[in-house]
Amino acid sequence: MPGYDISLEITLDNPAIDAAALPILAERIMTGEDVPPGTALAILVTGDDEIREMNRRFLGIDEPTDVLSFPDEAGDFVQGIADEPLLGDIAIALPTAARQAEEVGHSLDAELAHLLVHGILHLCGYDHVDSPEDEARMRRREEHYLGDLGTVHAH
């Protein structure tokens, strides 16, 4: 497997999270999407208030959300090491992820995995808002990495 520089920061205490699984999954997705070896990815797992503030500051939407993806750009909330290619930054709202996991009846780890896959696919150029075809294409890639999503919510 190619090597990637994947950083994970969790700002909330939650011993129930399998934190080691997130970078492993991220590397699998980046490999599968042909992201060049050596590329960095920053993952932030944080609270709803922090996500709401990022959503407001960077996207002009003053409400919380489950996951935000920011391609490599100057002024990102997490900075990569200079001279290193950076795929981008992903921020996941842990309390929202926990609520969504409970609503659809699967584990918090499964929801975090879904949100991480969703976020990385956005950074790789997939989207789901422009057309039903784009949404179906992105969903197929999510299912490729996660298996049948069954009751997992749509974004």
Q: What is the pLDDT of residues 47-72, one digit of tens each?
A: 999 999 999 998 899 999 999 999 87
d(CA 122, CA 120): 5
Q: What is the pTM of this model?
A: 0.87
Q: How many CB atoms lie within 10 A of CB 34?
A: 8
8: pLDDT strictly greater than 90:
yes
Q: What is the 3-state secondary structure (H, E, C) of the chain?
A: CCCCEEEEEECCCCCCCCCCHHHHHHHHHHHHCCCCCCCEEEEEEECHHHHHHHHHHHHCCCCCCCEEEEECCCCCCCCCCCCCCEEEEEEEEHHHHHHHHHHHCCCHHHHHHHHHHHHHHHHCCCCCCCCHHHHHHHHHHHHHHHCCCCCCCCC
The more confidently predicted of residues 136 and 74 is 136
Where do the structural domains in the chain lie, given as residue ranges?
Answer: 5-146
Note the pLDDT tens digit of each residue in 66-99.
999 998 764 444 454 556 788 999 999 999 999 9
The more confidently predicted of residues 86 and 130 is 86
Q: Which fold has domain 5-146?
A: Collagenase (Catalytic Domain) (3.40.390)
149: pLDDT strictly greater than 80:
no
